[in-house]
């Protein structure tokens, strides 16, 4: 068979692999590599060619690891709860459970055509009761540990999706899913205390081999801020206010106080004062404005004086207390002391004629004058303080710690850490999610569902559209709601909210280690062996959601002894998007979607795989280009055809590259080295380019020794598993190539090829010569100076210096 018939080859081997359980996970005692994809949400549209890019990468990587002698765990599953699935179901008038089943079937068949080495016996599905039993179990452990609590604070409400949302689900104040403007609504919510883990989520990042910008995103999201809570009395009241300040250096500059309109102390401050009515009206006015779209609290800052003053002995003055639109009720204490050295405070003070008192000045006198005249707001690290006396003349950035100490010792403040991170609003008023396993008993209060009664199954109902009442559709199902209190056995009602989309993905990587276990969360042996995930691959859009949530759950599970590692994902690689050829996102809406099924059929799965890995740097977004795809196809055809040039042992006694072929032999060893390290570092494009270079050289050679050919197809096998299996089989091997060992290289041979020494005169290339590696400097210099093409540049000038870089170049410096 001399024609590369990809359809025949690929179907054949996929069948064989399946029937021989080739990719079944082997848990032994040897070294392991857990290679994980972010599992997909099985949408109704099926896969487009962008989806498999990350899966191809993990497939290539895990195949390499396998050949390097690791036991690998490379599983796949479905993240099928949540809004997208439910909205799709409502739109298409098909029950989400049915839609999910159908979509999974389609996804799976699409994936299987690409020839992945997934161990499908470990497949998980977050909507399977046997799975979400343990999602609920983890929630209960959190509840028992005091990490899940009910909140009555107003939360983000999406009027279109008709559910509450977490901070992470917002994009620019809009619902990340549907783009509707989010309102604040006072709906009782279950909230997870992720903020308790803020510090560990931050410090744990340092131990992870993740792309720096993902770690940076998480740091930004957590937003740790160290500062001081200043605490002083309100004049004429038996009341102290605490104000968070992260730049305490300017404490003597403070001239007024602002409090958030929603702050509960506002009422108390103005009670019985002449300003009371006016201030309370203002508060309502701001609340209304904030509920509206596009209200910018800074550009449209508004405020009102409460009539109260704070005693401020730290600067021997009294500070007027204002209610200000730009004060945040849920950051710090909701009360802020303000100075001339903050842009917002500065603008607010100017607007309302509040006095300012700068204490920090630039070195340049002209600029300092402007600061003194309150023409500009100034705050730079190298500014110099004029107050307080103890710190006069010192640089602002150097004096911070000393000032904090000073404030603490005076009893004016205490050290505080604040975070931008908010607790995780965890309940959704929607049908398609894990029921929260709690029971409300009129006598006993909130009672957890006993573990033996898990899972609390999602009832199968006809009507699952959101109720629009702020309650979950489950609330209207009496048979679900009405139950007995596990404690007192009296009549009670079930919690009807469901968990958010992100719940199931917080721990699925643990389930893969022991997917069939119905009795226990995980088997400890499996968990200890496989954890942590060694290589995790997925899109960067999960930087501040899934990847924070999962780390949070994992750290909790670690604390209760359910897992053995502090962090779940040791190494992370981000997959860059594949855009459509028009440069836009691939979407049914734009009609620019390319279906992998078509590519597989026309060019073959191996061509698709090689192309997607060769397109460009893995983590970079890149446009699909069907014209370029043929290059990958040609490469595989040439590998296929190379078998015609292979010299068998009988024909040629050598079967290996001889010393006549030193150049080629050296290239072979260089390629083995490069392909291995490039795959390991997710530089697939250069790995393939190295394979192409080797192939070019082998084609030019008179014949190809059998051993060399074997090495070539082993190197190609992670990228093109079907083609290499076919060629391997063709050589007479019955055992799969994917169970072979990765070829070894000899560093000495890899560097044995002659090197080209470039000769420069004043940095310009004037000639070159080849020589053995490791030539002596004097010899290289001598030879360089004797080259005729170099000599002519040396006439009539004097050589002042010669720089010799061993194995690379000689640069002759002339005057």
With CB under 7 A as the contact rule, the residue among 53, 66, 74, 683 that binds RNA is: 683
> Which two three-digit tokens encode residue 179?
């783009």
Whole-number Å distance between alpha carbons of 496 and 476: 9
* Residue among 63, 1, 27 nearest 606 (CA): 63
Selected binder of RNA within 209, 246, 469, 677 (CB under 7 A): 246
Piece of the chain touching RNA by CB under 7 A; list 12-20, 361-369, 549-557, 623-631: 623-631
Distance CA 326, CA 256 (A): 14
Question: Between residues 127 and 245, which has the closer beta carbon with respect to RNA?
Answer: 245
Q: Is 689 exposed, middle or buried (0-12, 13-18, 19+ CB in 10 A)?
A: middle
Interacting residue with RNA among 523, 686, 729, 771 (CB under 7 A): 686
Q: Is 808 in the site for RNA (CB under 7 A)?
A: yes
**Interface residue with RNA, options 27, 68, 180, 217 (CB under 7 A):** 217
User: What is residue 214's three-state secondary structure?
Assistant: helix
- Residues with Cβ within 8 Å of 661's Cβ and at least 6 positions away in sequence, in order, are 701
Which span sits near RNA by CB under 7 A: 211-219, 526-534, 587-595, 663-671? 211-219
Footprint (CB under 7 A) of RNA, residues 544-573: 544
The helix or strand, by DSSP H or E, that contains position 56, with its residue range, turns out to be helix 52-67
169 sits near RNA (criterion: CB under 7 A) = no
Residues 306-325 that bind RNA (CB under 7 A): 325
- Nearest CA to 67 among 742, 678, 682? 742
Q: Which of 688, 713, 716, 720 binds RNA (CB under 7 A)?
A: 688
Q: How many residues bind RNA (CB under 7 A)?
A: 80
Q: Which is nearer to RNA, 486 or 806 (CB)?
A: 806
Q: What's the rounded Cα separation, in Å, for the pair 758 and 156?
A: 66
Q: What is the DSSP letter of 648?
A: P
What is the footprint of RNA within residues 322-361 (CB under 7 A)?
325-328, 331-332, 334, 336, 338, 342, 344-345
Sign of the CA dihedral 537, 540, 546, 548? positive
Contact assessment for residue 137 and residue 452, using Cβ atoms and an 8 Å cutoff:
no
Near RNA by CB under 7 A: residue from 145, 776, 797, 803: 803
Q: How far is the CB of 186 from RNA (least distance, A)?
A: 17
- Select the residue interacting with RNA from 21, 293, 364, 789 (CB under 7 A): 789
CA dist 602 and 621 (Å) reads: 24
**Considering only 200-208, 213-221, 432-440, 514-522, which stretch makes contact with RNA by CB under 7 A?**
213-221
- Closest to RNA by CB, 486 vs 616, is 616
Closest-CA residue to 348 (of 299, 404, 409): 299
- Select the residue interacting with RNA from 114, 191, 543, 667 (CB under 7 A): 543
Looking at 45-53, 459-467, 692-700, 776-784, which segment touches RNA (CB under 7 A)? 692-700
Do residues 575 and 75 make contact, with C-beta atoms less than 8 angstroms apart? Answer: no
Q: Is 599 in the site for RNA (CB under 7 A)?
A: no
Q: Kindly give the pairing relationship between strand 71-73 and strand 32-37.
A: parallel
Peptide bond preceding 455: is omega within 30 degrees of 0, i.e. cis? yes
Residues 753-772 that bind RNA (CB under 7 A): 756, 758, 760, 762-766, 768
Residues between 406 and 465 that touch RNA (CB under 7 A): 418, 420
- Decide: is 540 part of the binding site for RNA (CB under 7 A): yes
CA distances from 725 to 345, 462, 553, 743 (A): 70, 50, 41, 16
For RNA, the closer of residues 301 and 449 by Cβ is 301
Say whether residue 260 binds RNA (CB under 7 A). Answer: yes
Q: Are 70 and 30 in contact (CB under 8 A)?
A: yes
Scan residues 624-653 and list those touching RNA (CB under 7 A).
Answer: 625, 627-628, 630-632, 634-635, 637-638
- Tell me the C-alpha distance between 124 and 452, whole Å: 22
Provide, rounded to whole angstroms, the least separation between the CB of residue 282 and RNA.
Answer: 15
> Would you state the structure tokens that stand for residue 344, as one six-digit string?
């917002």
The rounded radius of gyration (Å) of the Cα atoms in the chain is: 34
Provide the pairing of β-strand 755-761 with 764-771.
antiparallel
Q: Which residues contact 329 (CB under 8 A, 6 or more apart)?
A: 260, 261, 262, 263
11 interacts with RNA by CB under 7 A: no
Q: In whole angstroms, give the CA distance from residue 635 to residue 606.
A: 11
Instruction: Choose the stretch contacting RNA; rule: CB under 7 A; options: 60-68, 238-246, 528-536, 733-741.
Output: 238-246
Among 62, 245, 252, 717, binds RNA (CB under 7 A): 245
Shortest reach from residue 244's CB to RNA, in Å: 5
Stretch that binds RNA, among 176-184, 366-374, 608-616, 741-749 (CB under 7 A): 608-616
Judged by CB under 7 A, the stretch of 41-49, 424-432, 609-617, 714-722 that binds RNA is 609-617
User: Which one of 209-217, 358-366, 484-492, 512-520 is the stretch in contact with RNA (CB under 7 A)?
Assistant: 209-217
Residue positions counted in the chain: 815
CB atoms within 10 A of CB 643: 15
Can you read off the two tokens belonging to residue 32? 């392991």
C-beta of 137: minimal distance to RNA in Å? 30
Report in angstroms how near the CB of residue 261 gets to RNA at its nearest.
Answer: 10
Please report how close the Cβ of residue 579 comes to RNA at its closest, in angstroms.
10
Residue span binding RNA (CB under 7 A) among the ranges 175-183, 196-204, 494-502, 610-618: 610-618
The residue range among 56-64, 188-196, 223-231, 740-748 that interacts with RNA, by the rule CB under 7 A, is: 223-231
Q: Residues 6 or more apart from 695 whose CB is under 8 A from it?
A: 635, 638, 639, 642, 712
In the complex with RNA, the residue whose CB is nearer, 334 or 504, is 334
Residue 43: asked if its preceding bond is cis (omega within 30°), the reply is no
Comparison of 42 and 334: residue with beta carbon closer to RNA: 334
Name the nearest CA neighbour of 117 among 68, 69, 57, 38. 57
The position carrying tokens 């909210």 is: 497
* Residue with smaller CB distance to RNA, 90 or 621: 621
Tokens of 455: 């899972």
Q: Closest CB to RNA among 57 and 449?
A: 57
Residue 298 Cβ vs RNA, minimum distance, rounded to whole Å: 5
Q: What are the residues whose beta carbons fall under 8 Å from the beta carbon of 797, sequence distance 6 or more?
A: 814, 815
Using the rule CB under 7 A, give the single segment among 32-40, 367-375, 401-409, 805-813 that binds RNA.
805-813
């Amino acid at each position: 068979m001399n024609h590369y018939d990809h359809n025949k080859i690929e179907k054949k081997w996929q069948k064989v692999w399946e029937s021989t359980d080739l990719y079944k996970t082997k848990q032994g005692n040897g070294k392991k590599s857990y290679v994980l994809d972010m599992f997909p949400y099985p949408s109704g549209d099926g896969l487009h060619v962008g989806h498999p890019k990350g899966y191809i990468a993990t497939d290539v990587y895990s195949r390499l690891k396998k050949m390097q002698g690791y036991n690998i765990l490379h599983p796949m599953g479905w993240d099928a709860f949540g809004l997208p699935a439910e909205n799709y179901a409502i739109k298409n008038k098909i029950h989400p459970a049915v839609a999910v089943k159908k979509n999974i079937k389609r996804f799976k068949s699409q994936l299987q055509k690409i020839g992945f080495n997934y161990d499908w016996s470990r497949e998980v599905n977050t909507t399977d009761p046997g799975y979400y039993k343990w999602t609920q179990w983890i929630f209960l452990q959190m509840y028992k540990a005091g990490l899940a609590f009910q909140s009555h604070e107003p939360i983000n409400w999406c009027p279109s999706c008709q559910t509450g949302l977490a901070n992470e689900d917002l994009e620019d104040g809009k619902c990340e899913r549907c783009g509707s403007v989010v309102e604040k609504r006072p709906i009782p919510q279950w909230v997870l205390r992720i903020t308790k883990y803020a510090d560990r989520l931050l410090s744990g990042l340092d131990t992870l081999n993740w792309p720096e910008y993902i770690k940076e995103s998480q740091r930004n999201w957590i937003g740790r801020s160290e500062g001081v809570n200043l605490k002083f009395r309100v004049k004429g009241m038996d009341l102290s206010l605490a104000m968070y300040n992260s730049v305490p250096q300017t404490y003597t500059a403070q001239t007024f106080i602002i409090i958030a309109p929603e702050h509960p102390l506002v009422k108390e401050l103005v009670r019985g004062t002449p300003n009371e009515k006016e201030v309370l009206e203002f508060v309502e006015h701001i609340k209304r404005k904030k509920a509206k779209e596009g209200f910018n609290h800074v550009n449209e800052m508004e405020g009102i004086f409460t009539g109260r003053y704070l005693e401020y002995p730290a600067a021997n003055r009294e500070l007027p207390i204002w209610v200000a639109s730009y004060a945040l009720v849920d950051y710090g204490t909701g009360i802020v002391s303000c100075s001339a050295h903050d842009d917002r405070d500065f603008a607010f003070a100017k607007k309302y004629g509040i006095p300012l008192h700068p204490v920090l000045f630039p070195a340049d006198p002209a600029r300092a004058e402007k600061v003194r005249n309150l023409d500009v707001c100034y705050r730079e690290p190298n500014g110099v303080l004029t107050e307080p006396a103890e710190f006069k003349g010192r640089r602002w950035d150097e004096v911070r710690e000393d000032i904090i100490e000073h404030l603490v010792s005076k009893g004016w403040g205490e050290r505080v850490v604040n975070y931008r991170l908010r607790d995780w609003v965890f309940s959704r008023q929607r049908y398609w999610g894990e029921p929260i396993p709690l029971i409300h008993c009129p006598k006993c209060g909130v009672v957890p569902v006993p573990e033996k009664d898990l899972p609390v199954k999602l009832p199968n109902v006809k009507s699952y559209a959101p109720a629009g009442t702020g309650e979950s559709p489950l609330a209207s199902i009496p048979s679900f709601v009405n139950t007995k209190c596990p404690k007192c056995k009296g009549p009670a009602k079930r919690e009807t909210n469901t968990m958010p989309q992100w719940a199931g993905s917080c721990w699925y990587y643990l389930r893969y280690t022991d997917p069939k276990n119905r009795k226990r969360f995980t088997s400890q042996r499996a968990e200890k062996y496989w954890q942590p995930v060694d290589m995790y691959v997925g899109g960067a859009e999960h930087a501040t959601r899934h990847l924070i949530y999962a780390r949070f759950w994992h750290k909790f599970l670690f604390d209760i002894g359910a897992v053995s590692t502090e962090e779940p994902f040791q190494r992370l690689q981000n997959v860059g998007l594949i855009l459509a050829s028009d440069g836009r996102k691939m979407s049914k809406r734009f009609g620019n979607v390319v279906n992998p099924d078509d590519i597989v059929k026309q060019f073959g799965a191996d061509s698709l795989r090689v192309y997607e890995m060769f397109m460009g740097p893995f983590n970079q977004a890149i446009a699909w280009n069907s014209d370029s795809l043929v290059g990958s196809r040609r490469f595989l055809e040439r590998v296929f055809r190379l078998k015609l040039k292979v010299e068998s042992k009988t024909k040629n006694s050598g079967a290996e590259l001889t010393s006549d072929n030193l150049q080629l032999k050296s290239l072979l060893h260089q390629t083995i080295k490069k392909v291995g390290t490039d795959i390991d570092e997710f530089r697939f494009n250069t790995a393939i380019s190295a394979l192409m270079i080797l192939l070019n050289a082998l084609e030019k050679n008179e014949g190809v020794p059998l051993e060399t050919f074997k090495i070539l197809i082993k190197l190609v096998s992670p990228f093109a598993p079907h083609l290499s299996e076919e060629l391997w089989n063709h050589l007479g091997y019955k055992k799969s190539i994917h169970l072979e060992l990765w070829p070894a290289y000899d560093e000495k041979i890899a560097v044995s090829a002659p090197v080209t020494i470039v000769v420069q005169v004043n940095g310009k290339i004037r000639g070159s010569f080849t020589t053995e590696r490791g030539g002596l400097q004097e010899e290289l210099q001598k030879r360089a100076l004797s080259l005729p093409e170099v000599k002519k540049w040396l006439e009539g000038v004097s050589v002042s210096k010669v720089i010799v870089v061993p194995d690379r170049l000689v640069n002759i410096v002339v005057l």
